[in-house]
């Protein structure tokens, strides 16, 4: 009988586990030095090796001939665990065995000594699915288990576990497997299966798998059913992805404000049975790639795509302002959520395309009216009074000065000396997220200070400042959010600038500046 790839190539030793050296090396050392904990907690996203490591650990602690912390894989205990004939190793699916009676049965069985192995091992998968009563029934046994019992708990949602359980386990966090590691593994599997796979195809599968080796092998299994040579087109067809060229063409249509071209593309993809919600997801991911290219120094290190696609994406990113990219991601996110709520997906995609090609048709409310309504709603929902502090009529009627785009260092230094922490800044950030999740998230971890008519933002994330400099609409949204929370108009500024300290502290820069002032020619590059 045919065995699917993820079962056929499941690692049998710790050395075979990919992308989790912080887990496997620690477990091997504990087994080698006989410093085993009585309960382990494996947590992480799906397909990262939690169940695999649980089975390897259960073999290693019971192996009759352990090899430097690894099981030998050949003794009767190792073979029996692999075949499921050793009754001392019990796998429990907490999704279907989550009641108090199930755990009571487990506690009764745990009191008996192992029949064949050294340890009685209980692997409880998806442990977060246990009921509160079941967790309570497990507590005492988990804290003081018999010396011959070992618990291994696995979960994808560790935040759902009670703290009383967490404190009784030795926790290991499994990371998403890097795409490059997944691609190498896929190529090795194809080599063993006598199947040819292109490098771009392996990278595409790795990107779709999103760090899950099991998902990557399952998709590879499907691709192998189409032939013995797997190309990028094979993967796209199998996964139901739009051709990357269509994403570039759609982006060009949005950039050129060509709604007709966008509609024609959508019609073609729909005729080819492409799911519109999936197309929307792919466009969001494509614009995310453009955003990363514009905002980080070495985007190639984290973007999974061919060199040809990367060069083309770079060209598109340079042609689109960062503020427009963020706006498009927000609009696509809204469309995707609407599709999932049950609206006609094709119509929703077409409307979104027209909206992105014609931003001027978006409804615009009077800013003052919008702010007043939002303030009233906030007061009603939060049962909180509108801020007592009022702006004088003279100040309120005065035009808001333009935001600081480049620093006047003397002025900014004076503002910083007079600044006081803005305690309401977290509320402002949450208000910004209501208008744009991307912009609001870029302010996470930041602080703000009030100095006179300025709000000075202090953040290590330069993306938020790039967005504010590049888009008037985003600056207006931030100022509106500040006014909604504080009741006052403020100008925006930056608390510190990356090159400010260097400019102030570098004596060589000051010397060069003095030479230039004296009329002496200086070559800056030397």
pLDDT, tens digit (0-9, with 9 covering 90-100), for 141-158: 888 888 899 999 999 999
Instruction: Give mean pLDDT, residues 444-458.
Output: 86
Kind and range of the H or E element at 231?
none
Kind and range of the H or E element at 445?
none
Give the pLDDT confidence score for residue 14 in this predicted structure.
92
Task: Walk me through the domains of the chain, giving residue ranges and CATH numbers.
Answer: 5-174 (3.40.50.300), 179-239 (1.10.8.60), 244-361 (1.20.272.10), 367-495 (3.30.300.180)
Alpha carbon distance 115, 113 (integer Å): 6
* 3-class DSSP state of 525: coil
Higher-confidence residue of 268 and 520: namely 268
Please enumerate in sequence order all residues whose Cβ is within 8 A of that of 360, keeping only pairs 6 or more positions apart, or say none: none
Please enumerate in sequence order all residues whose Cβ is within 8 A of that of 315, keeping only pairs 6 or more positions apart, or say none: none
* 3-class DSSP state of 457: strand
How many C-beta atoms lie closer than 10 Å to residue 505's C-beta?
9
Is the pLDDT assigned to residue 523 strictly greater than 70?
A: no
Higher-confidence residue of 66 and 402: namely 66
Kind and range of the H or E element at 155?
strand 149-155
pLDDT tens per residue across span 373-391: 556 555 554 544 444 444 3
Which pairs count as long-range contacts for 377-385, CB under 8 Å and 24+ apart, including other chains? Answer: 378/484
Is residue 241 within 8 Å of 280, Cβ to Cβ?
A: no
pLDDT tens per residue across span 272-308: 888 899 899 999 999 999 999 988 888 887 887 778 8
pLDDT tens per residue across span 305-347: 778 888 999 999 989 988 889 889 999 999 999 998 887 899 9
Which pairs count as long-range contacts for 225-231, CB under 8 Å and 24+ apart, including other chains? Answer: 228/194, 228/195, 228/196, 229/195, 229/196, 229/197, 230/190, 230/195, 230/196, 230/197, 230/198, 230/201, 231/198, 231/200, 231/201
Is residue 152 within 8 Å of 145, Cβ to Cβ?
A: no
Note the helical H segments in 320-403. 322-340, 345-357, 367-382, 393-397
Give the pLDDT confidence score for residue 444 in this predicted structure.
85
Is the pLDDT assigned to residue 140 strictly greater than 60?
A: yes
- Residue among 388, 458, 398, 399 at smallest CA distance from 429: 458
Instruction: Give mean pLDDT, residues 480-500.
Output: 79
Kind and range of the H or E element at 344?
none
Kind and range of the H or E element at 100?
helix 100-110
Mean pLDDT of all residues belonging to the chain = 82
Give the pLDDT confidence score for residue 504 in this predicted structure.
46
Instruction: Give mean pLDDT, residues 34-57.
Output: 92
Is residue 229 within 8 Å of 235, Cβ to Cβ?
A: no
What pairing do the DSSP bridges indicate for beta strands 229-230 and 420-421? unpaired
Confidence of residue 417 (pLDDT cuts 50, 70, 90): low
State both tokens at 462: 């330069």
What pairing do the DSSP bridges indicate for beta strands 120-125 and 89-93? parallel
pTM over 0.85: no
Is residue 475 within 8 Å of 492, Cβ to Cβ?
A: yes
- Residue among 412, 518, 402, 411 at smallest CA distance from 469: 402
Is residue 271 within 8 Å of 291, Cβ to Cβ?
A: no
Higher-confidence residue of 386 and 28: namely 28
- Residue among 338, 316, 327, 348 at smallest CA distance from 247: 316
Alpha carbon distance 261, 267 (integer Å): 10
- Residue among 382, 362, 333, 340 at smallest CA distance from 485: 382
Instruction: Give mean pLDDT, residues 26-45.
Output: 92
State both tokens at 137: 């029934």
Instruction: Give mean pLDDT, residues 163-183.
Output: 91
Alpha carbon distance 22, 478 (integer Å): 42
- Residue among 93, 99, 29, 98 at smallest CA distance from 60: 29
Is residue 422 within 8 Å of 450, Cβ to Cβ?
A: yes
Alpha carbon distance 147, 298 (integer Å): 51
- Residue among 119, 134, 3 at smallest CA distance from 62: 119
Interior/surface letters 456-479, b for 16+ CB within 10 angstroms, e for the rest? bbbbeeebbbbbbbbbeebbebbb
Give the pLDDT confidence score for residue 31 in this predicted structure.
92
Which of 10-19, 84-93, 285-294, 405-414 has the least mean pLDDT?
405-414
Largest interatomic CA distance in the chain: 93
Confidence of residue 397 (pLDDT cuts 50, 70, 90): very low
Instruction: Give mean pLDDT, residues 489-501.
Output: 70
The DSSP bridge partners found for residue 174 are: 44
Is the pLDDT assigned to residue 493 strictly greater than 80?
A: yes
Alpha carbon distance 209, 363 (integer Å): 39
- Residue among 207, 387, 361 at smallest CA distance from 281: 207
Give the pLDDT confidence score for residue 383 in this predicted structure.
46
pLDDT tens per residue across span 340-372: 888 789 999 999 999 999 876 655 545 555 555
Confidence of residue 392 (pLDDT cuts 50, 70, 90): very low
Quickly list DSSP for 172-207. EEEPPPPHHHHHHHHHHHHHHTT-EE-HHHHHHHHH
Give the pLDDT confidence score for residue 423 in this predicted structure.
87
Is the pLDDT assigned to residue 469 strictly greater than 80?
A: no
pLDDT tens per residue across span 182-230: 999 999 999 999 999 999 899 889 988 888 999 999 999 999 988 889 9
Give the pLDDT confidence score for residue 221 in this predicted structure.
92
Give the pLDDT confidence score for residue 377 in this predicted structure.
53
């Amino acid at each position: 009988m045919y065995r699917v790839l993820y079962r056929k190539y499941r690692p049998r030793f710790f050395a075979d586990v990919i992308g989790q050296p912080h887990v496997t090396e620690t477990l091997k050392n504990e087994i080698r030095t006989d410093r085993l904990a009585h309960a382990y907690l494996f947590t992480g996203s799906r397909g990262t090796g939690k169940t695999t490591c649980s089975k390897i650990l259960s073999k290693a602690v019971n192996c009759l001939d352990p090899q430097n912390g690894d099981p030998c894989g050949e003794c009767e205990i190792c073979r029996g665990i692999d075949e499921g004939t050793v009754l001392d190793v019990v796998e429990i699916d907490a999704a279907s065995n989550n009641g108090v009676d199930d755990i009571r049965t487990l506690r009764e069985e745990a009191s008996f000594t192992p029949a064949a192995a050294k340890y009685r091992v209980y692997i409880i998968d998806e442990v977060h699915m246990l009921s509160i009563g079941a967790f309570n029934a497990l507590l005492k046994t988990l804290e003081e288990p018999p010396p011959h019992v070992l618990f291994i708990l696995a979960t994808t949602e560790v935040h759902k576990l009670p703290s009383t359980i967490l404190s009784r386990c030795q926790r290991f966090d499994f990371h998403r497997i890097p795409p490059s590691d997944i691609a190498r593994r896929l190529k090795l599997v194809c080599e063993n299966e006598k199947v040819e796979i292109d490098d771009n195809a392996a990278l595409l599968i790795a990107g779709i798998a999103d760090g899950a080796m099991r998902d990557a092998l399952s998709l590879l299994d499907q691709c192998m059913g189409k032939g013995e040579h797997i190309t990028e087109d094979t993967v796209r067809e199998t996964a139901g992805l739009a051709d990357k060229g269509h994403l570039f063409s759609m982006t060009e249509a949005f950039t050129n404000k060509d709604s007709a071209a966008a509609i024609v593309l959508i019609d073609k993809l729909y005729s080819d049975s492409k799911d519109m919600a999936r197309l929307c997801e792919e466009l969001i991911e494509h614009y995310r790639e453009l955003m990363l290219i514009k905002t980080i120094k070495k985007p190639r290190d984290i973007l999974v795509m061919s060199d040809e696609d990367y060069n083309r994406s770079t060209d598109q990113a340079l042609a689109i302002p960062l503020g427009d990219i963020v706006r498009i991601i927000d609009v696509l996110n809204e469309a995707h959520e609407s599709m999932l709520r049950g609206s006609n997906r094709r119509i929703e995609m077409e409307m979104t395309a027209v909206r992105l090609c014609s931003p001027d048709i978006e409804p615009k409310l009077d800013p003052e009216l919008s702010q007043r309504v939002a303030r009233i709603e906030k007061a009603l929902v939060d049962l909180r009074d509108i801020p007592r502090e009022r702006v004088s009529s003279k100040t309120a009627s005065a035009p808001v000065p333009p935001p600081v785009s480049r620093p006047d260092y003397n002025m900014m230094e004076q503002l910083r000396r007079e600044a006081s922490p803005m305690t309401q800044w977290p509320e402002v950030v949450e208000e910004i997220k209501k208008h744009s999740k991307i912009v609001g998230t870029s302010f996470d971890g930041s602080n703000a200070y009030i100095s006179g008519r300025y709000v000075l933002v202090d953040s290590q994330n330069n993306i938020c400042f790039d967005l504010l400099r590049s888009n008037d609409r985003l600056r207006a949204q931030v100022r509106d959010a500040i006014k909604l929370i504080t009741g006052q108009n403020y100008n925006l500024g930056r608390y510190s600038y990356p090159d400010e300290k260097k400019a102030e502290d570098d004596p060589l820069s000051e010397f060069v500046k003095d030479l230039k002032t004296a009329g002496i020619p200086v070559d800056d590059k030397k």
